[in-house]
Amino acid sequence: DAGVIQSPRHEVTEMGQEVTLRCKPISGHNSLFWYRQTMMRGLELLIYFNNNVPIDDSGMPEDRFSAKMPNASFSTLKIQPSEPRDSAVYFCASSGTGNTEAFFGQGTRLTVV
Amino acid sequence: GIQVEQSPPDLILQEGANSTLRCNFSDSVNNLQWFHQNPWGQLINLFYIPSGTKQNGRLSATTVATERYSLLYISSSQTTDSGVYFCAVEGGSYIPTFGRGTSLIVHP
């Protein structure tokens, strides 16, 4: 398996624009996580899906952020409108059921200017 | 939620030295993982170790779940070991919660 695949790897956008980050989990994994990493806050969970259903979205900062998982092999994280404080590295991770390892994608480095 | 504390926050070593990184957690856990974030930002799985001891080359890890801590040992450190080491634990929700990491610099 190619692992968790995220796209794009880098994104530079202007404030106010819509940004869409994409993630393809490892085949067969039924848990998917979106994390954001900043120097100030470290790695923080944004949202957790299990079997394509959002289970915990308490980490989503505000209404500008939304995430979807239309099927077992694809998820998106959307920011609309984007703001400079959204600049961070966004990671997607997936794992199997219960006591299994989580594997991370290479991340998307987002810069909002 | 579970609190995860890692120590030390920063560590500087000379190549060839040994080190021990610690992860304390505030509640019982189902899973525990150690990751290495390399200078390119990639999170690399080191150990999946909810309990017991594992070894992989120069690295080993021990988790004492009853006492709520895990240790990562790095022996004969190399410059390629530089980066940030994260501990992530999962409680009943099976959501990985990360500590703030230990930043390691190994000088040649």
**How does pLDDT run across B19-59, given as a tens digit for each residue?**
999 999 999 999 999 999 999 999 999 999 999 999 999 99
Chains A and B form CB pairs within 8 A to the count of 46
Cβ atoms of A40 and A22 within 8 Å: the answer is no
Residue A43 has φ and ψ, to the nearest 5°, of -90, 115
The Cα-based distances of B94 to A11, A50, A56, A99, B27 in angstroms read: 30, 10, 11, 8, 13
What band does B1 get if pLDDT is binned at 50, 70 and 90? confident
pLDDT one-digit tens code per residue, B5-22 = 999 999 999 999 999 999
Report the alpha-carbon distance of residue B19 to residue B75 in Å, rounded.
7
The per-residue b/e assignment along B8-46, b for 16 or more CB within 10 angstroms, e otherwise, is eeebebeeeeebebebbbeeebebbbbbbbeeeeebeeb
Q: Which residues of A touch B93 (CB under 8 A)?
A: 48, 56
pLDDT one-digit tens code per residue, B74-88 = 999 999 999 999 999
pLDDT at B32: 96
Q: How far is A64 from chain B (nearest CA, A)?
A: 23
Q: Which residues of A touch B42 (CB under 8 A)?
A: 104, 106-107
Q: Which residues of A touch B31 (CB under 8 A)?
A: 99-101
| Joined tokens for residue A61 | 């900062």
Q: Could you say which residues from 1 to 60 on chain A have a Cβ atom under 8 Å away from some Cβ of chain B?
A: 31, 33, 35, 42-45, 48, 56
3-state secondary structure of B81: helix
| Joined tokens for residue B66 | 């009853």
Q: Which residues of B touch A44 (CB under 8 A)?
A: 98
Res. A99: pLDDT tops 90: no
pLDDT one-digit tens code per residue, A10-54 = 999 999 999 999 999 999 999 999 999 999 999 999 999 999 999
Report the alpha-carbon distance of residue A43 to residue A54 in Å, rounded.
19
A101 touches chain B (CB under 8 A): yes
Res. A61: pLDDT tops 90: no
